Structure 1
Amino acid sequence: MFSSIQKKLLIYILSITTIFLVSIGILNYMWAEKVLVQVSERRAAAMAESAAARIESYLLQKGQFAWTMAQDENIHRFVKRVDTRYQDVSSDQDYQKILTTFKRIVAQDPDINIAYVAVEKTQRVYDSTEYENPPDYKVGSRPWYKAAVNARGLVFSSPYICPVTGKQVISAAVPFYGEEGELLGVAAVEILVDKVENIVSDVHLFKSGYSFILDKQGEVVACPSKDHLNMIHHSMGSGKGVNKLVSLMLEGETGWEEIVTDGVGKYVFYTPIKNLDWSLGVVVPKDEVTAAIIPLAKISLVTVLLGVIIISLCIILLTSRITRPLEEFTSIMGKVEEGDYTIRAQVESNDEIGRLGESLNHMLDKQQHLIKQVMDTAYNMGIAGHELAITIGEGSSTIPGVTDEMGAIVKKLDLEKMKQKSYEFTHSHAIRDLFEEIILLNYEQRAMTGILEDLEEDFRDLRKQITDTQQAAQIDEIIHSYYNITEQVVALSQRGEKVQMNFVDVSDYVDDLHQGITDIVNTLQIVNVQIENVAGLQSDLLKRATKTAMGLVQWSQKLLELTSRFQIIENSDMDKALPMEEKPVEEGV
């Protein structure tokens, strides 16, 4: 399936750009969230520290009443004088004075619920309401009393319900001692929690944010409402990170923690309230902190979409300048695929695209030249195939005739008969008889020569006996004639010996000739067999050569048919298109 480069570039660049823009958007979102969290933390810290200072100031201000009562001489005298738990003190002047003091404090400050003194000696409380203590009531077991004695200073209790008025209060208690340092009792006032709760209720960030106070036992001192109180108690049992938060608050630390309650994320800033062993926590809902980021996220999303659209348009405009020449090259290659080698690319630049166009044109020139060479070669190959077929046809009609003639000549020689005649000639009886007669004639010549020599010797002896001159001359003449005859016979005998020796040489030559004829006959027989084999090979080779020549002609015709659909420039134009070093060298066929 065709895939456009422009589409690929568009996809690649848009992918990278989108990832980049989304990454920037995510980083901006994370940075904005971090900034908002930091701002919220700073605001919560400022509000918490302000509220803690207000609460501390408020409680210390109310606690001053306890300090004042702890230093009152009337209270000291009364405590020292009272002996038993059940002593009637209603008529005691000091008691009346301290009772007046208690009532004045309550009347002076509406945030004071009750003012009272707990006496160590009698283990009972004397308050502004003249509340009668239960029989089993002992102040030494009360938490606020123990805390004051142990602290030897001003302490504040956890909130509790006053048994007299039924209001939720906090006790501010101060121990006081005698002249010798013995514990006399604890002076205390009950402070209404409403004011503290109002201060806590004023501390909140965003719509559902709220604040709360924990004492050193982890009990909730104040919170905006009972719903918030129930929420805090529920979170302490199941919330993620709540136990750690409570531990840090009880240790008097200041910090910022993230918790999860009921699947909802929250931030809590906590700070201790000095001199009270309390800790103030400001709860900030996480979703409301990050709610301000939503418009920014929308703006970032719109920016990303606009950026993608603008970049897409720019990419399309820019890539079209690259892909348009490539599309033209693709169109050219499609026409070349159909056989049109006359088309060329338009080169309008000197960049990589221009170089690609020049390379494409150069390649087409080379391919066109190659096709022309193939066509010429196919044409020449067809001619050569025809000539080869003709030559093979002539050879096929000539070579078998020559082979048959040579075979006929060899057969006409009747080699076996020649061989037999040579053998018969060599072993003929006539030759043997002639040789024997020559030997016998030579022997007779030798015998005649002996006889003639004996006759000559006899005549010589007779010559010596004859004294007659005439007869002696006749005998000398006869001896001379015999001598001549003897010499002729000797010469004839020598010639016979030469004839015998020549006959021996002739006989040896005849034997050699017979052997040579025998070898020739054998060689001709082998040649006859080889001629028959060569005739068979020649016939097979002629058939194969004929088949090859026909195949060559067929392939040249098929090659010409294949190249006939190509459109090429004429030779003169093509020679101009080719560089000088690449022009072909014309060779004769």
Structure 2
Amino acid sequence: MKLDFQKRIVYPLLIALGLLLGISAFLVGHAIYRLKSEQVLMESRSVVQSRAREIETFLTDRARIPLTVFRSPFVLDWFASYDQYRKPILHDQEYQKLVLFFRRLVISDPAIKSVFFATENTGEYFDQDGRFEQAGYDAKERPWWQSTLEKGRLYCDLSGIDYEDSTHAATLQMPVYREDGRLLGVAGVDISIETIANVLSRVRYHGLGEPFLIDEDGHIIEFPSMTVILSWLERLNDLEGKVPGSKGLSVLAQAILSEGEGHTRIVWRDKKQIAFYTHVTVPEADVRWRLGLIVPERVLTTPVYRWMAVTVMVAVFMIAVILVFSFRITTSTVRPLGMLASRLHHIAHEECDLTLEIPVHSTDAVGETARNFNALMARLRELLRVVIINTRDVASGTRSLKGQSTIMTREAGEMSHVIGLITNVSKKMVETIESIGKAADNVAILSKNASEQMGSAEKSVSERIREMVTINGQLQDMQKKMDRMNHKSDNIEEAMRMIDDVNKQIGLLSVNAAIEAVNAGELGKGFAVIAEEIQRMNTGTEEANKHNKKLIGEFRSEFHVFHERIQTICDQVSSEVGSFRDIEKTFQALLKSIRNSDLAAARLREHTQAQMKAIHEIKLNLQQIETATSVISETITRSVEMINGVDARVIDLNRSTEVFKIEENEGVHRLDKELV
């Protein structure tokens, strides 16, 4: 039994555990390999990126020099005023300051080889040494002049050569324009390639690697380890044929120009290498270079393989230790389990003796299992005793359920009758509420018609009020005009009094003229005629004046009466306007009341609809209750059938319990005959 159990359980378990640990070790090792590889690649890439940022900072700082210097008003004004070829300037103080300024810029920064400016006016070339005095030299005929104008901005030119030492230089040059947009010249600074090479020489990974710098077209700017065999601005993919034992440089060049940042594997001088590359971008100078570092693959893989070897050894040791301990533990467990299996076989197949217990020989998990098994047998014996008692109770309960089921069936019929009566009452309530809803709709229609009529009446009253207000205004304007006419009649009356005074004076004058004419005798006859005519005119004027006074008096009297009537009409109109406003307020109050009635009718209609909905729901619920009552009745009938079936199963259960032995000297007591 022990050997068979060990073959079937222990050995497969140990084999599965070994495989699981082996797979786990492989996965962990693979994960460590990947993590370490990524760590090494990230470190290498970080070294290249940090050096690329140094080169970007170096170029950015130098690019600010022409952008700052050749926008200075002092520099621009002097070159704008210089418009004569070979103009004598040796004793020009401004010229000396300009040359000294250029010279200080060169001295202050060892990376700068020269600062220059070529003028559009004369085509001459100026740098820190002054004006270039070579006869026939014209800067505008140089290739760099045309390329700078084509670029139209600050950029880095790699085709320049320093004429002092015939070395190559990187030139940051740009066109310079006047304020009015006209070209003033081309200016720039020459940067030593050796300075860039010194920065490039610090690009190493743990002291190893060969750095290189190329432009955006794939031309090699600097490759310190290949200076002997390289020509200036040679392409990177051309090295594959010049460097023996090198492969993959064309793929590397294509990847660098297309991706800008990353790494790829190549063969360099018959050794496997990894080339890391990143971009060197200076927007101020239109620089889009690429920095690369070729590192031996062994530098990257050696730490990874070392970690892998340590991981494998630790995993093998742990697997061996775990397997040994697992074998010892399973072997010590098999022996008591075999004894436990034989006891269980005896209980299960030979006889159903629940009084049989398993002997306990240890305090470990197996001994605890045996104790738990003995407790389980005791618990089963107790449960069987409870089952016997409960079976007797179930039999008694089934008889009681039969009587209660009959009563419930009768009550369910009575409930169905009551539900039918409630349904009839709810139908009548629905009819009543529907009539109330129709009445509410009629009230709403009447309220709406009354509201429309009152609205039109209110509009008519408002229009009458506006018309009477207009008439009142016109009457008041008329009253004001009549006041002005009354004032003018006073002026006319005053003028009539003045005319009376003048007539009196003319009358006295005519009398005096007549007296003087009498005193003059024959000579005064002509004058007497004039005096008589004046007297007659005075009399006519006096009569006309009296007639006018009478007319004016009558006019003033009638005007006063008319004025009083106008005032009375104005007062009446104002009173009527007030009355109409009261009527308008009354109409508005009535209209508000009608609208409130309309709202109340609407609420009543909503409430009736809600009540109808609620009654419909009650009706549906009653129908559901009626249906449920029918279902309950059917369920009770089925329950009676099930109770009969339970009664039969109780008898079968009694027969089944007779098989088990739960006491030492006696079997299970039989149930009372009443169960049958």
Q: How would you bin the TM-score normalised by the shorter chain?
A: 0.3 to 0.5
Q: TM-score, normalised by structure 1?
A: 0.46
- From the CA coordinates, give the structure whose radius of gyration is larger: 1
Q: TM-score, normalised by structure 2?
A: 0.40
